[in-house]
Chains A and B, each alone.
Chain A
Amino acid sequence: DTEVTQTPKHLVMGMTNKKSLKCEQHMGHRAMYWYKQKAKKPPELMFVYSYEKLSINESVPSRFSPECPNSSLLNLHLHALQPEDSALYLCASSPSGTRERYGYTFGSGTRLTVV
């Protein structure tokens, strides 16, 4: 398995809702990432988990709450979002601490719309 799987592919949520994005990989990668991408902009790093511990938080608002239950799974919990949080949310993984022979592997993303 050489893929990062993200669910759901599309999500529409109200500003008072609570929802979660899910990311899964079975490549044995020990680092996982969340990125946010607005239209016509490059992806921006949000969080990094290394060996299931949060190692980088790029000053992301607390309405975004990441969770790494195990080495294969990464969640992003969403609560009280604003319309400007509408974006494509990308998950990625990499073999932390080893040669990145094949680079980072990205999922196809979750297209989030906040109404």
Chain B
Amino acid sequence: DAKTTQPTSMDCAEGRAANLPCNHSTISGNEYVYWYRQIHSQGPQYIIHGLKNNETNEMASLIITEDRKSSTLILPHATLRDTAVYYCIVRVEGGGADGLTFGKGTHLIIQP
């Protein structure tokens, strides 16, 4: 799996959009960008994933640059419950049971 680079921590005001960047300059053509988050003392939770088109679901939006070397996870209206560590992972979709490899992630703190 390609490696990713994320900021260690970010702050965002409650009610504002939280934009979390991820660099993955060595991503391969068949690798997807996945985002998970881990709220304190819970297991990681899947958020969204995409290949090259922008994706949106009920939790977030994923914007992938045209060259696919970076992406941004957007939480449109952040709440205090969105305070968590956010992990960006690149891997082949349906890549088999090889396990996810987590980097250090971004600790997002939503301020009231």
A contacts, CB < 8 Å to B: 4, 30-31, 33, 42-45, 48-50, 55-56, 88, 90-92, 94, 96-100, 102-109, 111
Contacts and interface: CB of A to CB of B under 8 A. Distances in A.
Contacts of B112: none
Contacts of A91: 43
B43 A106 contact: yes
Contacts of B97: 30-31, 33, 48-50, 55-56, 94, 96-97
A43 B102 contact: yes
Interface stretch (B22-30, B44-52, B65-73): B44-52
A92 B101 CA distance: 13
A98 B42 contact: no
30 contacts: A30-B97, A31-B97, A42-B103, A42-B104, A43-B100, A43-B102, A44-B102, A45-B101, A50-B97, A56-B97, A88-B41, A90-B43, A91-B43, A92-B44, A94-B97, A97-B94, A97-B96, A97-B97, A99-B93, A99-B94, A100-B49, A100-B94, A103-B34, A103-B36, A103-B46, A104-B36, A106-B45, A109-B42, A109-B43, A111-B41
Nearest to B43: A106
Contacts of B98: 48, 56
Give the secondary structure class of A's interface: strand
Contacts of A102: 46
A44 B103 CA distance: 10
Interface string B63-94: 00000000000000000000001010000011
